[in-house]
Structure 1
């Protein structure tokens, strides 16, 4: 599995647009690549597959914090192994997902999941993996949860805020707290 200090893999995937464009078959589809949003932090989070019970809780958790991530210079991408057509259909038929503010990437060939090393060997789906990638394409935070356990988007935001300080941030550090000083 890729870890801190590794370069996030290059990718070019079909996707469903965020916002209202992602609901209309005439405007929903796009292609997203690692070259998009150059010079920005990227939050890429994976879920196993659409139309499940646990995945929307995480997706909506990230959606609720999307503006806060954007305010800190980060772009969000969600990804699963489902096709862009399935993503659009899910958004159209799940009222809470209709207003997602970020693109849903389609990793149908499992190439990106495989390159990241996050495919569950039994189920063949991506684990609940989260990557914070700096503007140079280097992974600065990664977390992976079991298929049965959701992650905490607020914690990912806290980690991004700590990374942005460039300082030494202690356990449970929160934005506005003092950084640790050596000596």
Structure 2
């Protein structure tokens, strides 16, 4: 897998289901705000609804930090609508559910399992300049943690704001950050 840190999103347009309506997501919609692309293998599966519900529980916290979540699978926007309406867990999602039927996004982010036509569990944090600043990829059986994702977005925002500071392991907003320099070498 190629290194994606710093890779800039290319122009795209794809269908989505959001707030009981069909629409389109395009590159320009992302410019100027933080975004998370949250790939999952498929609608009407087993681990996926638990992840979408986990994000839904703290979605307001992502909104507070001006970060939009985009749940993405290779299913259609029509399937997203049906799943949203029929699953109690998924029905809690207030964020866009993006259809990647042509596999463009899954290929761009490097998570497409071509022989299955599905994506791995990939999470990508994109800054307001449309650059990938953090990502992780899991095999299909490993669910992710929304609170940890929120912490990572907050850390990415902190580092972007205070370029001379870095966030140590487990850093949470309000915790002390580190300022790299000669005086810090060997002191940690």
Shorter-chain TM-score above 0.5: yes
Per-residue deviation, 1:117:
1.2
Q: Give the structure 1 partner of residue 174 of structure 2.
A: 176
Superposition map of 1:1-183 within 5 A: 1=1, 3-18=4-19, 22=20, 28-166=21-159, 167-182=165-180, 183=183
Runs of at least 5 residues in structure 2 that lack an aligned partner in the other structure: 160-164, 184-188
Find the residue that maps to 2:156 and give its secondary structure: helix
Offset from partner CA, 1:79-109 (integer Å, 9 cap, x none): 1000011010111111222231111000011
Q: Which segment is superposed worse, 1-10 or 129-138? A: 1-10
Answer whether contact 1:15 1:29 (CA < 8 A) is retained: yes
Answer whether contact 1:17 1:103 (CA < 8 A) is retained: yes
Find the residue that maps to 1:132 and give its secondary structure: strand
Answer whether contact 1:9 1:116 (CA < 8 A) is retained: no
Offset from partner CA, 1:123-150 (integer Å, 9 cap, x none): 3310000110000001001110111111
**2-side partners of 1:34 and 1:65: how far apart?**
25
Per-residue deviation, 1:169:
0.6
**1-side partners of 2:117 and 2:31: how far apart?**
31
Answer whether contact 1:47 1:80 (CA < 8 A) is retained: yes
Q: Which has the larger radius of gyration?
A: 2
TM-score using structure 1 length: 0.90
